[in-house]
């Protein structure tokens, strides 16, 4: 699907991978709606990208009402929704039992599933309803593209990652049936499963820790850049034949238990 003059809603759009996608799509001529709960970063990024091309909406991905209103704001500002990129997520670490044998917090498990899984589903379903109203692209028949963010932890979760890995495995699991559900409408659905990427999530760690993480990647032996994630997201938006797939972006990394 062509990108110029189309509109993308991007959750987690004020930081890391989501922000990189926003900048990439704007440079390809799109308008972007940044959906995030970080108002300070949102206002700053809207100004930095330019209010004629970017709109920030403060909305929590777990809220039906807030996301519904955010998608309406996207249509009011730019006329339609063509791309939905789900990047909002959290990555708490907690073992099932801690060192003194106490069980992990069920509340934290449920919160991780609510933001990473239900939040992704909530935004995707509401964006799809809006995409269904688009006139199909004259050349490709497409009405829209949804991209979800999984993680290689969804395949090989590490110690302390039960909640995170479960939420990301579920994203991988819903990708094909969501693509099948929306195929008749010309809406494609794919996911990206990143390895270790240099976003604030990781760049907040001490440099030796980042270096060690990068050194474990077979090639190239470094952290991935948000720009590399954004490049892949752009390609998925443009390549009409990629559908129902989760693509690893990890330099051949297969994570060990810890």
Catalytic residue IDs = 164
For residue 83, the 8-state DSSP code is: E
In whole angstroms, give the CA distance from residue 241 to residue 258: 36
Which tokens go with 161? 């990652």
Task: Indicate which single residue of 6, 7, 15, 234 sits in contact with ligand NAD (rule: CB under 6 A).
Answer: 15
Q: Other C-beta atoms within 10 Å of 221: how many?
A: 12
Task: State yes or no: residue 45 binds ligand NAD (CB under 6 A).
Answer: no
In the complex, the smallest distance separating the C-beta of residue 148 from ligand NAD, rounded to whole angstroms, is: 9
Q: Where are the beta strands (DSSP E) in 21-61?
A: 31-36, 54-58
Q: Which range of residues in 85-93, 139-147, 172-180, 237-245 is near ligand NAD by CB under 6 A?
A: 85-93
| Six token digits for residue 95 | 């073992």
In the complex, the smallest distance separating the C-beta of residue 74 from ligand NAD, rounded to whole angstroms, is 15
Judged by CB under 6 A, does residue 87 bind ligand NAD? yes
Phi-psi region of 79 (alpha: psi -120 to 50; beta: other; left: phi over 0): left
Nearest distance from C-beta of residue 183 to ligand NAD, angstroms: 25
Phi, psi angle pair for 217, to nearest 5°: -80, 125
Contact 116, 92 (CB under 8 A): no
Q: Which of 20, 37, 35, 119 is nearest to 71 (CA)?
A: 35
Rounded distance, CA 58 to CA 11, Å? 10
Q: Is 12 in the site for ligand NAD (CB under 6 A)?
A: yes
Q: Least separation, in Å, of the C-beta of 137 and ligand NAD?
A: 28
Of 6-14, 172-180, 230-238, 240-248, the window that binds ligand NAD (rule: CB under 6 A) is: 6-14
Q: Is residue 250 involved in binding ligand NAD (CB under 6 A)?
A: no
CB of 181 to ligand NAD, least distance (A): 22
Q: Considering only CA atoms, which of 144, 235, 138, 240 is closest in space to residue 185?
A: 144
Binder among 54, 89, 190, 236 for ligand NAD (CB under 6 A): 89
In the complex with ligand NAD, the residue whose CB is nearer, 81 or 88, is: 88
Q: Over 11-23, what HEC string results?
A: ECCCCHHHHHHHH
Among 9, 16, 84, 232, binds ligand NAD (CB under 6 A): 16
Crossing angle (nearest 10°) for helices 16-27 and 226-238: 50
What is the CB neighbour count within 10 angstroms for residue 201?
Answer: 15
* Nearer residue to ligand NAD within complex by CB, 88 or 185: 88
Instruction: Give CA–CA dist 181/160, Å, rounded.
Output: 34
Mask for 108-137, x = binds ligand NAD (CB under 6 A): -------x---x------------------
The residue from 3, 33, 37, 255 that contacts ligand NAD (CB under 6 A) is 37
Which residues between 194 and 223 bind ligand NAD (CB under 6 A)?
Answer: 194, 196-197, 199-202
* Chain positions contacting ligand NAD, by CB under 6 A: 11-12, 14-18, 36-38, 60-62, 87-91, 115, 119, 149, 151, 194, 196-197, 199-202
């Amino acid at each position: 699907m062509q990108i110029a003059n189309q509109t993308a809603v991007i959750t987690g759009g004020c930081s890391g991978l989501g922000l990189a996608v926003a900048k990439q799509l704007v440079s390809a001529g799109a308008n972007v709606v940044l959906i995030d709960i970080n108002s300070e970063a949102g206002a700053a990024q809207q100004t930095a990208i330019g209010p004629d091309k970017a709109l920030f909406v403060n909305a929590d991905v777990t809220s039906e009402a807030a996301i519904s209103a955010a998608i309406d704001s996207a249509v009011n500002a730019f006329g339609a929704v063509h791309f939905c990129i789900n990047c909002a997520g959290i990555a708490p670490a907690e073992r099932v039992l801690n060192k003194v044998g106490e069980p992990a917090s069920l509340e934290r498990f449920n919160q991780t599933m609510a933001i990473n899984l239900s939040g992704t589903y909530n935004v995707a379903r509401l964006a799809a309803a809006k995409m269904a109203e688009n006139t199909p692209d004259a050349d490709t028949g497409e009405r829209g593209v949804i991209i979800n963010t999984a993680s290689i932890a969804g395949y090989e979760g590490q110690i302390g990652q039960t909640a995170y890995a479960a939420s990301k495995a579920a994203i991988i699991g819903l990708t094909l049936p969501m693509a099948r559900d929306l195929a008749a409408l010309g809406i494609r659905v794919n996911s990206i499963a990143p390895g270790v990427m240099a976003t604030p999530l990781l760049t907040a760690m001490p440099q030796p820790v980042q270096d060690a993480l990068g050194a474990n990647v077979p090639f190239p032996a470094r952290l991935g850049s948000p720009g590399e994630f954004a490049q892949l997201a752009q390609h998925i938006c443009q390549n009409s034949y990629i559908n129902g797939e989760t693509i690893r972006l990890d330099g051949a990394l297969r994570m060990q238990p810890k």
